[in-house]
Structure 1
Amino acid sequence: MMPAIKQYNTGIKDMICTHARKLVSRTAAFITVVSLSMAAAAHDLEIHGSNTVGATLAPMLVTGYLQQLGEGDVRTRGTGTVNEKILSTRAGDRDISILVAAHGSSTGYRALASNEADIWASSRPAKASEVEQLGNRADLRSLDSEHVIAIDGLAILVHPQNPVNKLSIDQLGQIFSGQINNWAQLGGADQPIRLYARDNRSGTWDTFKSLVLNGEYSLHESARRYESNDKLSDDVSRDPAGIGFAGLASVRNSKLLAVSDGNAPAMKPDQLTVASEDYPLSRRLYMYTTGEQAPAMARELIDFALSSEGQALVAESGFVSQNPLAVKPDFEAVVPDSFRKLTERYQRLTVNFRFAEGRTKLDNKALRDLLRLKHYLAEQNRQARDLLLIGFADAQQHELKSQMVSELRAISVRKALNEIGVENAPYTGYGHYMPVSGKGSPRNGRVEVWIKNR
């Protein structure tokens, strides 16, 4: 009898312990949910994600937005956590605060998906898996959800005294994978190369991995990893053997290298090459929202970021604005005489039209650039006849086909401009000549915009 009672008591104890553990677990979960709700409620808006966007650009855009909204100064304070800022002001009878948490692009997606963030700041486009996972709430690839707020060039950085001036994308892949491990192999000093790279949560790392490593190379285990672009750049600038990559706004005291892709000439990132996305390591900086479901304040902030005023702040922050500018390009020696003749009475605008899929469907950035171009013409008191749209194609099986594709692209942009009242802009196609990237790259398929000299 005693063993049975003992066994019964043990069973009761086990049941009580199990119940207690479940209760503690549920209580902890409840506390977590409440804490998250309180944290979300603590701010009128939360932006999570990319350090590239969140370190300087997002706070500047938030400040500009709050200055329009509020009646006094915009205050900035930390949260006690590195790479987080709270910006606040007084509007009417209440305080408004916005949190910017810059811990990497992937963290921003997770925060948006879990309703902790209203805006996801990202230095890379949304991945197919992310688009699919959030598909029941919003289409992250739609014009309502995907917002290109700036253009950036992935800067390849070395010590100021390093004699190397340019590298190909393939050389960069070999360097960062350890296959090229001494500067003497590149015409530099006889010393081992030291690698500096962004961390795995960074959209800058995702971009580098996609554009440079490209599935062919793996980052060498000796690379030092960083959450901050600025810290990485500062460390490279002090290391004669160092090479690293960061956002264009974080060059600081490091030396910037020119980069080539395939048979295209090497380019340094600048206003024209980055804004037009001709520079091979150019990239778009994004803010993602849940479209029409996003809070009104989130939509207003996005509208401000995309406005001329917001884009002026983009330029001030060190990134490249999407407001069109007219520039007289410095042609490389390889530019054909026929193209020099075609454009001799024109300046180039810092906008390229690119395509989402197929050959003629404009992507989300291009759809907004149509309106920017219309605004630019009105501001400058210019007409559609002052423009020249030049289409380009990637190499096709036959030269005639390349010419046809390039003209179709130019016609597609012309039609889109017609629809918004910029009618009958002159156009031409230039076939597969003057590639800006290796053969097969979608970046070669583009429409450049030129404007007549006054």
Structure 2
Amino acid sequence: MSCFSRPFASPARLLFGGLLALSLPATSLAALPLPADGKAALHMQGSNTIGDKLGPALVSGLLEKEGFSKVRIENSGENEQRVTGFDARGRLVSIEVAAHGSGTGFVALGNDRAELAASSRPIKDSEAASLARLGDLKSPEGEQVIAIDGLAVILHPSNPLAALSVAQLARVFAGEVKTWEELGGRGGAIHLYARDDNSGTWDTFKELVLANQGKSLAAGAQRFESSVKLSDAVSQDPQGIGFIGLPYIRQARPLAISAGDSQPMLPSTELVATEDYPLSRRLFLYMKPGEGNPWAQELVRFAHSPRGQEIVAHSGFIAQTVKAMKVEAHGEMPDSYRELVSNAQRLAVNFRFAEGSAELDNKALRDLRRVLRYLRDNDKLMSQVALVGFGDPKHEDRDRTLLLSKLRAMAVQRELVKGGVLVRSIDGLGDALPVAANDGEDGRRKNRRVEVWVY
């Protein structure tokens, strides 16, 4: 029964149901068709980062949750996997997952060779336009953020270097900076450690660091197929530096990273979850809005569920789970923000916005439900929430930036009020406290945000 059928549903419960209905049409596995001709019930195509492990793991989790037996994952081709299982009547279902790069997912959607496109980047305007016959793939139903990806840059525990910027990191791994002394450290020649070309970790680092700075990996870098072996090698080499997924830091020491004018940040789970940490990015599934393929709808629904997010975390990515974190004060904080740092905790979620807009993006629509659930479960609905909005200085009009930052906080306040929250305070701090560089759209998007604080 939907929440709208219950006569005494609370405002928060109504909003949860409303946002869920907005994102996905209702389906049930009992009504999902099993192709009679033995063809796959669903095809997922696209990102190596998703398709290598996370995609098949989510498919397996869905089948197991719904009672399918003998669920197994098997290779069906180069960078391709098939997940199979049997229902209670002994009928076979198979789902195909192909990982040939994000762009191939959108091509496959357009050619009707896939019902889900997995992507480690947002869909491009040109791709969305070419697929317009399928509907609006940028809509809340078409675009689904299922996880956050984050990387740690690691050093030998004895290395005294505290922080690097993304620009410096790119020069190091391109081989342009050759000694630790050039970075203000000590130790002589820098030894580079990197994942192999088939790794999603490598794809992420290449995109967020090297390609973003117009660089390529130095030929002398040591390449590793195993995350564990790479991490252990760096932890045993005083001159080594490498990059790795967050679960594989092990005995090495993580390095703080900055972007533009941001403060250097260590790769904590919370700062990756907020997307403030520079080496973080969203992982997406895209599908045809409307009726579409019911298996695709059910898989996306499962990916957003608590069990789906557990699988996200187990696969080495960051789950979209709301929790409170303590923030350390530093000298660049405005007085009002410092008061929050002293007396409240920040939630590990940010609401982000399009340029010049106070309209919530698709991830934010789902994050509203997550925040409301956290506030309800922790008895913080009544005057214990503070909202702080931020902007980017692209238009060089500080008054407009300041106004937009407060309007964004007010937009979040309006949605929380619908869920029964009495907000304690809202503030707009303009372009203060950037978390990314403002010289590109990716960085400006990160800076256009609203933070949620709880007392």
SS of the aligned residue for 1:385 comes to coil
Following superposition of structure 1 onto structure 2, how do residues 265-284 of structure 1 map, counting pairs within 5 Å? 265-284=263-282
Partner of 1:418: 417
Percent same amino acid among aligned pairs?
A: 40
What's the CA shift string for 1:217-263, capped at 9, x where partnerless?
Answer: 2314616697x9x6366346426465444544555665432211122
1:150-172, CA deviations, whole angstroms, 9 ceiling, x for partnerless residues? 11213334556655442111102
Q: Alpha carbon RMSD of aligned pairs, Å?
A: 3.2
Match of 1:357 in 2: 355
2:193, 2:230 within 8 Å by CA — same for their partners in 1?
A: no
Q: How does 1:132-211 map to 2 (within 5 A)?
A: 132-158=129-155, 162-186=159-183, 187-194=185-192, 196=194, 199=197, 208=205, 211=208
**1:292 aligns to what SS in structure 2?**
coil
1:95-134 matches, cutoff 5 A: 95-134=92-131
TM-score by length of 1: 0.79
Partner of 2:48: 51
* 1:50–1:121 Cα contact (<8 Å) kept: yes
In structure 2, the partner of 1:90 is 86
Change (3 A) 1:397 1:188: same
Amino acid corresponding to residue 278 of structure 1 in structure 2: D
| Residues 401 and 120 of structure 1, relative CA distance in 2, 3 Å threshold | closer
Map of 1:234 onto structure 2: 229
Q: Which has the greater radius of gyration?
A: 1
- Report the number of matched residues: 410
Write the letter of the residue equivalent to 1:290.
K
The Cα of 1:425 is off from its aligned counterpart by 5.6
Counterparts of residues 370-389 of structure 1 (less than 5 Å): 370-389=368-387
Q: For the Cα contact (< 8 Å) 1:49–1:102, is it kept in 2?
A: yes
Q: Which residue of 2 aligns with 1:431?
A: 430
Q: Which 10-residue stretch deviates more, 247-256 or 311-320?
A: 247-256
Partner of 1:218 in structure 2?
Answer: 215
Tell me, what secondary structure is at the counterpart of 1:357?
A: coil
Equivalent in the alignment of 1:328: 326
Aligned to 2:451: 448
Extract unaligned runs of 5+ from structure 2. 1-34
SS at match of 2:43: strand
Contact 1:106 1:203 in 2 (8 A): no
Classify 1:110/1:185 alpha carbon distance in 2 versus 1 (closer, same or farther; 3 Å): same
TM-fit CA distance, 1:376 = 2.1
Q: CA deviation at 1:418?
A: 3.3
Specify the SS of the correspondent of 2:85. Answer: strand
CA shift, 1:344, in A, is: 3.0
Q: Secondary structure at the match of 1:262?
A: coil
Q: Mark the CA change 1:124 to 1:375 in structure 2 (over 3 Å): closer, same or farther.
A: same
Q: Distance in 2 between matches of 1:64 and 1:125?
A: 25
- In the TM superposition, residue 383 of structure 1 has moved relative to its aligned partner by 1.0
Matched, 1:76 2:72: yes
Q: Contact 2:173–2:218 (CA<8 Å) still a contact in 1?
A: no
Q: Quick one: distance in 1 between partners of 2:157 and 2:126? A: 41
On the 8 A contact 1:158/1:255 being kept in 2, the answer is yes
State the secondary structure of the residue aligned to 1:75: strand
